[in-house]
Structure 1
Amino acid sequence: MPIKFKPKLLPLKKEEELKTLVENRSVYALPHCELNVFETHQASEKVKLVFNDMVLTTMLRGKKVMHLFGSQHFDYLPGESVIVPNYEEMVIDFPEADRDNPTQCLALAVDGDILKDTLQLLNDKYPKAETGDSWNIDLSCFHLQNSLEITATIDRLVRISTEPIAAKDVLADFTLKELLIRLMQTQARQLILDSYHKHTGNRFAYVVQYIKDHLHEEITVDKLSNLCCMSKPNFFRCFKREFGISPVDFVVQERLKQAKTLLGDVSMSVSEACYASGFKDLSYFFKLFKRIEGVTPNEYRRRLN
């Protein structure tokens, strides 16, 4: 079960402030991006939305059903983001929205020039480890779970956009570039995670497969760097650059996902789920789980059953 990192909730509009109950829009304009906050307070179907620029959308509250690219549709929930190319029509259903359970979604329209500049910087100065591979926004991975890094950067960009902050435009541009980099790193990580068995020539895919197959064992950076035929410092640096997370943190996140899956098995105790996922310290496991998930492993299990 994937970990979802949810951006901070924004205050909802008061009823008298709403211009419409369906996709009420608040706009915060910056030089190279436009932050839109959409709220819907009643059930609706087939609401259409188009932007002139590429848009990164992130769900904050409630549930939508998104229809994209002509035929694809899926539930869209808090802790998830969707990338929509420019001029692509979104058709949105709000099956559960009402005044007590509104939806709230961020839509960040990104100027094409800053995207181009960010891609050029990465490909010139920080090329990918695999020959022939390059940085880009991959639209085959348009629906993704927010990483901790994406969530923190979105929260920071929202604060810059919505509050009276000195040098707002400069800070917004730096943060927007960081968000684009974090997004591409998360995409790269998700693509490898979803289909690592297909990327047989990719060294990091081989490492990911090894980690997944050996979560219950001790996994060292020395071992992983040897699998990649790279020095330990170079492996650590390249892994973090490509995926936006250190190899050590990646192993911890994969163990936490494994533990969440095992907690669904009522025949297994919480301590057994902890140790079977590769954690050696039960107290550390409880603290980590509570910090990431917001609930203890026992509370998480009760919610599942």
Structure 2
Amino acid sequence: MNHLLKHHKSSRKLTTLVENKTTYSADYAELNIYETHEYAEKIALRFDFPVIASMLTGKKVMHIEGMSSFDFFPGESVVMPAGKEMVIDFPLARKNNPTQCLTLGIDTEKITEVVERFNADIAVEKESHNWALDSTASHLLHNIEVDYLVKRLVYTFTKNEVSKDILLDLMIQELIVRLLQTKAKAFLLKNTDDDVFNDTRIGMVIKYIKQNLTDKEISVDILARKACMSVSHFHKKFKSTLGVSPIDYINSEKIRFSKKLIKESKELRISEIAFKSGFNNTSYFNRQFKKMELMTPQQFKASIVPG
């Protein structure tokens, strides 16, 4: 992250050691980079517009109404609605090792415009469910797409390029869509209310996958029929709504189930875990596990069963 802040460091002015703020503006957004160079507690921030806050370096402890306090590290983000207060502690901030974070404020009309286009794109006939970035805060962990976009935004905001505003506009639109997909996915995966699942065809498909996760015959063709769509149309709507393809989603859920089995059934062999998780092929299971968890099933098993 330090190389992304190179242009920022060369031009910013340091006027305070706690939450020193540098502001960069664009047509539809405002980027604030905050730096804290000494230990501090209970520093309150509130914005009149929705913001995405992301950690750059160091650590914060965040206190947000309606959420349990949590540690905030680089690579993580928080979506904050307008007018909501966050209170922050800086346990590790030092003069030679400052804690740095950013807030990205986005014009509400731009958010509304992108949200309406997103809902129109994922809409299916006779369905009424619309997604929005509403009044609740959310903590995003290990969201690779959002983290990547935040880094690109920092670089583009702080480097004075001729096409800066055009590039930022495109990235901000993509960021809003990624956040909407994250919200839709989290809502559909965590909510157990049948009315929620039955409200949309994608919700009904998610419910079917949950109920038939270990079925080795589950396929995109079957899911498309359940959604009463052609395979190509279903694939497009599923990926537009959740940000992942149906197959990637099914595999991620099977891998999540396999991790639960590994933790709870330590005597099972990896081949048995693969079979019970709905995989026909152990090699394919191993590849998917490593792709999603950055380690093999055997390494994961060793990490929770020492020796």
Question: What is the distance in 1 between the residues matched to 2:179 and 2:294?
Answer: 24
For the Cα contact (< 8 Å) 2:63–2:70, is it kept in 1?
no
Instruction: Give the count of matched residue pairs.
Output: 293
Q: Which moved more, 1:130-139 or 1:177-186?
A: 130-139
TM-score by length of 1: 0.79
The answer to whether structure 1 residue 64 and structure 2 residue 60 are counterparts is yes
The answer to whether structure 1 residue 31 and structure 2 residue 31 are counterparts is no
Amino acid at match of 2:156: I
How far has the Cα of 1:164 moved from its partner? 4.8
Tell me which residue corresponds to 1:277. Answer: 277
Matches within 5 A, 1:1-305: 9-10=1-2, 22-40=18-36, 42-69=38-65, 71-78=66-73, 79-95=75-91, 103-123=99-119, 125-126=120-121, 128-129=123-124, 131-140=127-136, 142-198=138-194, 199-202=196-199, 203-218=201-216, 219-265=218-264, 266-304=266-304
How far has the Cα of 1:148 moved from its partner? 3.6
Structure 1 residues 60, 168: closer, same or farther in 2, change over 3 A? same
Amino acid at match of 1:72: M
Structure 1 residues 87, 212: closer, same or farther in 2, change over 3 A? same
Amino acid at match of 2:293: E
Structure 1 residues 206, 57: closer, same or farther in 2, change over 3 A? same
Amino acid at match of 1:151: D
Structure 1 residues 260, 102: closer, same or farther in 2, change over 3 A? farther
SS at match of 1:87: coil
Cα deviation code 1:235-293 (max 9, x no counterpart): 22221222222211211222232233334344344444344333444444444444443
SS at match of 2:68: strand
Question: What is the distance in 2 between the residues matched to 1:272 and 1:98?
Answer: 50
How far has the Cα of 1:65 moved from its partner? 3.1
Structure 1 residues 76, 20: closer, same or farther in 2, change over 3 A? same
Structure 1 residues 215, 97: closer, same or farther in 2, change over 3 A? farther
Structure 1 residues 97, 267: closer, same or farther in 2, change over 3 A? farther
Amino acid at match of 2:127: T
Question: What is the distance in 2 between the residues matched to 1:28 and 1:189?
Answer: 32
How far has the Cα of 1:51 moved from its partner? 2.0
For the Cα contact (< 8 Å) 2:80–2:136, is it kept in 1?
no
For the Cα contact (< 8 Å) 2:290–2:296, is it kept in 1?
yes
Question: What is the distance in 2 between the residues matched to 1:201 and 1:215?
Answer: 18
Amino acid at match of 1:252: N
Tell me which residue corresponds to 1:5. Answer: none
For the Cα contact (< 8 Å) 2:61–2:69, is it kept in 1?
yes
Question: What is the distance in 1 between the residues matched to 2:166 and 2:90?
Answer: 36
Cα deviation code 1:50-94 (max 9, x no counterpart): 22321012345554332223x533314445432112232211234
Question: What is the distance in 1 between the residues matched to 2:293 and 2:56?
Answer: 16
For the Cα contact (< 8 Å) 1:28–1:162, is it kept in 2?
yes
SS at match of 1:58: strand
RMSD (Å), alpha carbons: 3.2
Amino acid at match of 2:227: C
SS at match of 1:139: coil
How far has the Cα of 1:26 moved from its partner? 4.3
How far has the Cα of 1:302 moved from its partner? 4.4
Amino acid at match of 1:273: I
TM-score by length of 2: 0.79
Higher-Rg structure is 2
